[in-house]
Each structure stands twice: as structure tokens, then as C-alpha cells.
Amino acid sequence: MNPVSYFEIPVLDMDRAIRFYEAVFGHALERASVDGNEMAFFAHAPDREGASGALAKGDSYRPSRDGARLYFDVPDIEAVLARALAQGAELLYPVTGVGSFGFVAEFADCEGNCIALHAQAR
């Protein structure tokens, strides 16, 4: 079993962040309010591997490039990175081969978080 089951990405402007993430990853996010915090959840498929999460806006959420890196597993790393850059993301680390692990890249999202991408093939 994978040790991570859920993540939250801090945002300041939920509408902007939803538009950004839906355009980059091509999945609709579902809005909700949880314990006074504004949330937008990524799809969750309990019968599949991997983690899911949400965009989160509230007093305890502060976007930052510092801290943990979230790696989104994508089928076409260059296409997803291109969509992120077209949405105003800043390239932090170009597509780079990392041996048998595949390829990675990093960008700063519309909120200032460092988000990473991973793909097995280029």
C-alpha cells in the first residue's frame, strides 16, 4: 500500500486556482466547504492506486515553493507542462530524465506553489 492517501494544495484565490488546475490536468474539481475552509477536490477513485487531494483555502493554508513537492503522474509530461506554462505557470525545473524513474519537471502554479510532474515515458 502506498503511504500517502491524501494531499491539500494551499491557494489564495480559489476561482483562479480551479481554472488553472482544470486547464492543466483536464479534470473537473468539486467545490465544498470543510470545517470553514473552502475546498476543491480532485477526483477520487478508491479502487485505484495513488492519492487524491484538494485545493484548500483557509487561515492555515499558505501557498509556498518551500516544503513538500507533490508529483502528479501524467501520461505526457511535455503536454501537461506546456498547458501549465500557457496558464501562466513559471518553469522551475525542465523535463529531465531520472533513469529508471522516468522523467520529471517542476513549475510554480498560479498561487506560487511548486508542483512537480512525473511520467514513465517521454
Query: Do residues 74 and 119 lie in contact, with contact meaning Cβ atoms separated by under 8 Å?
Result: yes
Number of domains present in the structure of the chain: 1
pLDDT (mean) for 87-102: 97
- Asked if the structure places residue 45 within a domain, the reply is yes
Residue 28 lies in a domain: yes
- State the pTM of this model: 0.93
Within-domain flag for 1: no
The tens digit of pLDDT for each residue in 6-65 reads 999 999 999 999 999 999 999 999 999 999 999 999 998 888 888 899 999 999 999 999
56 occurs within a structural domain: yes
Distance CA 95, CA 106 (A): 8
- Rounded to an integer, what distance in angstroms lies between the CA atom of residue 21 and that of residue 27? 8
pLDDT band at 121 (very low <50, low <70, confident <90, very high): confident
Which CATH number fits the domain that encloses residue 39?
3.10.180.10
Question: How many C-beta atoms surround the C-beta of residue 58 within 10 A?
Answer: 16
For residue 28, the enclosing domain spans 6-119
**Interatomic CA distance for residues 23 and 16, integer angstroms:** 11
Please give the helix or strand (H or E) that residue 110 lies within, else none: none
